[in-house]
Structure 1
Amino acid sequence: MLELTRITAGYDRRDPVVREVSLSLAPGESLGLLGPSGCGKSTLARVAALLHRPYAGTVVLDGEPVRGWRHRAPRAQRTAVGVVFQQPRLSADPRLTLRELIAQPLRATGRRSEVADRVAGLAPAVGLTPELLGRRPHEVSDGQLQRACLARALVLRPRWLICDEMTAMLDASTTAALVAVVESYRRESGAGLLAVGHDRVLLERWCDRTVGWQECSGPGAPQESMSPTG
């Protein structure tokens, strides 16, 4: 399980953007978190991805409490979570080729020997040709770069995948392609998915269930959507 209990988080202790939010995700489950921009969804997603330390509350990953964040998180927990952000150009090093971008997590965890095979397997799965792999971010479209960012999130075979507005900047065909990649990976691996977004139709078609943010400026507690899908 991925369990977030009474999370309070933000960037100013005097005015946190997330207040006492609880959320749980089972292995193999896909959960959509629905809400308007600015209500704290992305902050909660970063907490779940072990990228942002909350002011209060607990995160439990696969039965183990999380006590470290970012690079201080134990490697076993840090590598169990893959994350794809909304804006690929802000999450990609502009100096790297797409091939190097996908391989980043492998190199960072000392698994350089796996780079060639993993990149060769993931690139066609996300729709990247060998020619595109040699390009840098400024030489490709947003959709092509987001494909590489998704491959980077999957390269360590995470047990949990967090997609924070992954398709918000993409056209309908690219959105459908990337959702299909995520679902193929989940079927193969049994990974759990937290998909964050403001598109109710997309989330309810994509996810097993959807929770909506009760109100942006209130306590920030997610509630069950009025029309969850199964």
Structure 2
Amino acid sequence: MLELCDITAGYDRRTPVVRGISLTVAPGEAVGLLGPSGCGKSTLARVAALLHRPDAGTVILDGEPARRWRHRAPRDLRTAFGVLFQQPRLSADPRLRLAELIAEPLRATGRRREIPARVGELADRVGLGPELLARRPHEVSDGQLQRACLARALVLRPPWLICDEMTAMLDASTTAALVAVVESYRRESGAGLLAVGHDRTLLTRWCDRTVRWAELGGSAERPRTR
């Protein structure tokens, strides 16, 4: 079970963008989090994936409260999440070829021997041919790059997926293809899913249940100050 308990979070303690939010995702369940752009749902998704430390509240994963975040989180918790963001170009190292991008988590966890087989398997699964695997991010489309990012998110076989508006920049056919890959993986693995977005139709069709941001008592996210 993934439990977000009374989470308050933001980028400035004086003006939190998420206030007192609680949400649960059961193993194997697909939960959609529906809300308008800028409401704070992406911040909550980052907290759920242990990528952003909340100011208050608790994240509990399979009964274990998270006490550290980002690279300081224990490896078994940190690698339990496959995360896919809205803008693939902001989450991909422009120096890496797509094959290297997909292999990043394996390399970081000392599982280099698995790289050839897993990269080939997942590239085929997401629809990337050998000629695309040899290219760098600036040489492919947003849709092709997001396919590589999805393969990267799945490469460690995570039991939890966080998809933060992963299809917002994609056309309808690519959206359908990527959602199909996620659902195929979930059927095989029993992974739980938190899908964040503002497309009610997509989330309703995709997820077992959809929660509106307003139902959680969420407040509007305020712009970050630089």
Q: TM-score, normalising length from structure 1?
A: 0.94
**Partner in structure 1 of residue 131 of structure 2:** 131
RMSD: 1.1
- 3-state SS of 1:67 partner: coil
Query: What one-letter code is carried by the residue in structure 2 that aligns with 1:81?
Result: F
Q: Does 1:27 align with 2:27?
A: yes
1:164–1:197 CA contact under 8 A, matched in 2? yes
Kindly indicate whether residue 100 of structure 2 is the aligned counterpart of residue 100 of structure 1. Answer: yes
Q: Distance in 1 between matches of 2:217 and 2:204?
A: 24
- How many residues were matched structurally? 219
Q: Show the counterpart of 2:166.
A: 166
Paired residues for 1:160-199 under 5 Å: 160-199=160-199
Q: Cα offset for 1:45? A: 0.3
Q: In percent, how many aligned pairs have the same letter?
A: 83
CA apart distance, 1:77: 0.4
What secondary structure does 1:54 align onto? coil
User: What are the within-5 Å matches in structure 2 for residues 43-192 of structure 1?
Assistant: 43-192=43-192
Partner AA of 2:207 in structure 1: C
Hey, which bits of structure 1, 4+ residues long, moved more than 2 A? none
Structure ranking higher on relative contact order (CA contacts 8 Å, 6+ apart): 2
Shift of 1:219: 4.6
Q: Is the 8 A contact 1:9 1:56 kept in 2?
A: yes
3-state SS in 2 of match to 1:6: strand
Please state if 1:220 is matched with 2:213.
no
TM-score, normalised via structure 2 length? 0.95
Q: 1:227: which partner in 2?
A: none
Contact map agreement 1:18 1:219 (CA 8 A) in 2? no
Q: d(CA) in 2 for partners of 1:70 and 1:108?
A: 14
Distance 1:53 1:149 in 2: 23
Secondary structure, counterpart of 1:176 in structure 2: helix
What is the SS of the residue equivalent to 2:180?
A: helix
Aligned amino acid, residue 118 of structure 1: R
| Separation in structure 1 between the aligned mates of residue 43 and residue 143 of structure 2, nearest angstrom | 24
Query: 2:213 & 2:191 partners in 1: Cα distance?
Result: 24
Contact 1:102/1:149 (CA < 8 Å) preserved in 2? yes
| CA shift for structure 1 position 63 | 1.2
Tell me, in whole angstroms, the C-alpha distance in 2 between the residues paired with 1:19 and 1:110.
38
Inter-partner Cα distance in structure 2 for 1:147 and 1:187: 19
Query: Over residues 204-229 of structure 1, what are the superposed CA-to-partner deviations in whole Å (9 max), with x where a residue is unaligned?
Result: 000000000118xx9517xxxxxxxx
| Per-residue deviation, residues 101-120 of structure 1 (Å, max 9, x unmatched) | 00000000111111001001
Name the SS of the counterpart of 1:180 in structure 2: helix
Structure 1 residue 130: Cα displacement: 0.6
Contact 1:47 1:54 in 2 (8 A): yes
